[in-house]
């Protein structure tokens, strides 16, 4: 274990504080603004709520966990589906119910411990569901990369736009593979910047919005009962809530990795119940004002590992910078002018990485596919999730896609013979 440059409670000097906090903000920037671009939300509100959620998380975890909360990719498809069925307000309400699940799980863990959760959500269930999340988005990414919107809600193939997607994709790949420092942790941001510059050079960007935008602009808030009306239906709940199966597992994984990096046992102190509650409360506040659901970010954990600067004050500084940047009207307008092809190019890599991370979970946990039980569970999850199976009980009660796959995966794991006791490495030696 390398000695920390700045430990958890250390406060950096002013100049160092600014530079280190900006570094963390830019590490999460590309991914956090990409999610709202894909689901029809405001990038500004996504930035604002990421900063607010991070501050809430640090407070709830008693200034002990240096984690940054950004936009969750696991909810892209659920938000898109919820928006199609009931408007963007439905997606926000659904996210609030997800945060309620976080709070409930946190309460149960506080009272009973966490091993029960690992029995319900073992790698053989969570891994294939993560694969489904990535592959379910594959068609969207490729379509965005190759086409431009046309009349009558159709799209047209464009080699020019596809070239912008390829440049963006290759830049992100080069940053990921050939760089081993901070640059390797920001392939999304750098890919977007290079793709944007290339798009400007080939003339596929309309800069009108930037010219019309003011330097200071208040983000587009979405307040329930003010900016939208909503109706809570069983379908809405089953679109959004089951994805907590994945995000809670992702959260636990991040806490274990982060704990090993900073030499702390975060499962025990401040406790998994506190970190999950912080994540859930951040998601609740975010969705309450129109932002996407939140999750701890691997990019920022990577920055901690490289710099050995573990100070929560640096993380809080990054959160403050995110809040300030969200009011920069010109910058937010520039983000809105990013061509769909550029977003598609970076999404090809990003959605593929999501799917591959599910596969990695299976490999890292030595899942034996010679075991028929494991083979059956993973096979059913993959086909139901990617195939878009649905249970339709009425117009307001439909369970489909990855939500149905996740639910069936949990049930199969619990009822099929051969269930072994699930163990979790809590970070202790």
Identify whether the C-beta of residue 46 lies closer than 8 Å to the C-beta of residue 258.
no
Radius of gyration of the chain (CA): 21
What pTM, to 2 d.p., does this model score? 0.85
**Distance from C-alpha of 119 to C-alpha of 97, rounded to nearest angstrom:** 23
Over range 51-78, report the average pLDDT: 94
Interacting residues of 18 by C-beta distance below 8 A, sequence separation 6+ = 317
Identify whether the C-beta of residue 344 lies closer than 8 Å to the C-beta of residue 142.
yes
Residue-level length of the chain: 429
pLDDT above 90: percentage of residues in the chain: 47
**Distance from C-alpha of 9 to C-alpha of 145, rounded to nearest angstrom:** 44
Query: Residue 305: its pLDDT value, please?
Result: 83
DSSP 293: P
Asked if the model's pLDDT at residue 428 lies above 70, the reply is no
Query: Residue 110: its pLDDT value, please?
Result: 93
Asked if the model's pLDDT at residue 256 lies above 80, the reply is yes
Which stretch of 93-107, 198-212, 384-398 has the lowest confidence by average pLDDT?
Answer: 384-398
pLDDT digits (tens, 9 = 90+) for 295-304: 998 778 888 8
Give residue 103's pLDDT band: very low, low, confident or very high (50, 70, 90): very high
Three-state SS string across 39-88, please?
HCCCHHHHHHHHHHHHHHHHHHCCCCCCCCEEECHHHHHHHHHHHHHHCH
Query: Residue 2: its pLDDT value, please?
Result: 61
Q: Which helix (H) or strand (E) holds 399?
A: strand 397-400
Tokens of 233: 């239906």
Tokens of 250: 């992702």
Name the β-bridge partners of 295: 70
**Distance from C-alpha of 410 to C-alpha of 46, rounded to nearest angstrom:** 31
Over range 151-170, report the average pLDDT: 86
């Amino acid at each position: 274990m390398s000695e920390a440059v700045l430990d958890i409670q250390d406060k950096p000097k002013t100049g160092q504080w600014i530079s280190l906090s900006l570094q963390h903000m830019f590490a999460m920037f590309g991914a956090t603004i990409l999610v709202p671009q894909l689901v029809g939300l405001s990038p500004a509100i996504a930035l604002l709520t990421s900063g607010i959620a991070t501050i809430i998380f640090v407070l709830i975890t008693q200034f002990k966990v240096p984690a940054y909360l950004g936009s969750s990719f696991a909810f892209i498809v659920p938000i898109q589906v919820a928006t199609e069925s009931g408007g963007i307000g439905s997606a926000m309400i659904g996210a609030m119910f997800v945060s309620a699940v976080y709070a409930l799980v946190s309460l149960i863990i506080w009272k009973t411990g966490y091993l029960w959760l690992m029995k319900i959500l073992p790698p053989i269930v969570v891994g294939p569901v993560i694969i489904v999340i990535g592959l379910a988005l594959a068609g969207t990414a490729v379509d965005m990369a190759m086409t431009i919107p046309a009349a009558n809600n159709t799209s047209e193939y464009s080699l020019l736009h596809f070239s912008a997607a390829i440049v963006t994709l290759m830049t992100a790949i080069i940053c990921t593979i050939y760089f081993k420092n901070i640059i390797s942790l920001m392939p999304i941001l750098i890919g977007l910047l290079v793709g944007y510059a290339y798009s400007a050079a080939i003339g596929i960007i309309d800069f009108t919005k930037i010219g019309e935008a003011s330097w200071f602009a208040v983000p587009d808030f979405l307040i329930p009962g003010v900016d939208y009306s909503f109706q809570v239906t069983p379908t809405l709940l089953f679109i959004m809530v089951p994805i907590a199966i994945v995000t809670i597992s992702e959260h636990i994984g991040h806490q274990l990795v982060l704990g090993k990096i900073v030499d702390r046992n975060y499962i025990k102190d401040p406790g998994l119940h506190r970190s999950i509650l912080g994540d859930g409360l951040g998601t609740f506040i975010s969705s309450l004002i129109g932002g996407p659901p939140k999750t701890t970010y691997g990019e920022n954990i990577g920055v901690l590992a490289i710099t050995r600067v573990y100070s929560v004050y640096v993380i809080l500084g990054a959160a403050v910078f995110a809040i300030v940047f969200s009011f920069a009207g010109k910058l937010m307008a520039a983000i809105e002018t990013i061509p769909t092809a550029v977003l598609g190019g970076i999404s090809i890599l990003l959605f593929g990485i999501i799917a591959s991370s599910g596969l990695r979970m299976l490999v890292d946990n030595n899942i034996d596919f010679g075991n028929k039980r494991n083979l059956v569970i993973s096979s059913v999850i993959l086909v139901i999730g990617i195939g878009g199976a649905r249970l339709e009980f009425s117009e307001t009660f439909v369970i489909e896609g990855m939500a149905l796959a996740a639910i069936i995966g949990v049930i199969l794991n619990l009822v099929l013979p051969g269930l072994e006791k699930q163990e979790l490495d809590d970070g202790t030696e």
